[in-house]
């Protein structure tokens, strides 16, 4: 997907929480090459690696608004038939 939209450097992040308890993992890629290996609790580090600069009172995750996407159910339904 990153190649299709023209991204050369990108982070793949995954979180899985239930009731406030869970886990997260992140990795950074430059094209097909992994620059930053998957690591637990690595989302902020991965986002820093791709150039996200945190705001004064937020971490990198919330600075770019990822907190709005706590539930992905239905977000990609409109692309299913493309």
* Each residue's pLDDT tens digit, 1-55: 888 888 889 999 888 877 777 888 999 999 889 998 888 778 989 999 999 999 9
4 in any annotated domain:
no
Report the b/e string of 6-21 with b at 16+ CB within 10 A.
eeeebbebeeeeeeee
59 found inside a domain: yes
The verdict on residue 2 lying in a domain is no
Please give the pLDDT value at position 82. Answer: 65
Residue 34 lies in a domain: yes
Calpha distance 50→32 (Å, rounded)? 15
| Whole-number Å distance between alpha carbons of 28 and 37 | 7
Domain containing 37 equals 9-79
Number of domains in the chain: 1
Q: What global pTM score does this model have?
A: 0.74
State residue 23's pLDDT score.
Answer: 84
pLDDT recorded at residue 9: 92
Q: Place 76 in a pLDDT band, splitting at 50, 70 and 90.
A: confident
- Residue at 55 is within a domain: yes
38 located within any domain: yes
Q: Supply the pLDDT for residue 2.
A: 84
Q: Is residue 56 part of a domain?
A: yes
Residue 1 domain-assigned? no
């Amino acid at each position: 997907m990153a190649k299709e939209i023209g991204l050369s450097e990108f982070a793949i992040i995954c979180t899985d929480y239930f009731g406030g308890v869970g886990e997260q993992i992140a990795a950074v890629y430059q094209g097909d090459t992994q620059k930053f290996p998957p690591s637990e609790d690595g989302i902020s580090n991965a986002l820093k690696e791709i150039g996200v600069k945190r705001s004064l009172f937020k971490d990198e995750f919330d600075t770019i608004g990822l907190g709005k996407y706590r539930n992905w159910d239905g977000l990609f339904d409109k692309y299913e038939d493309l």
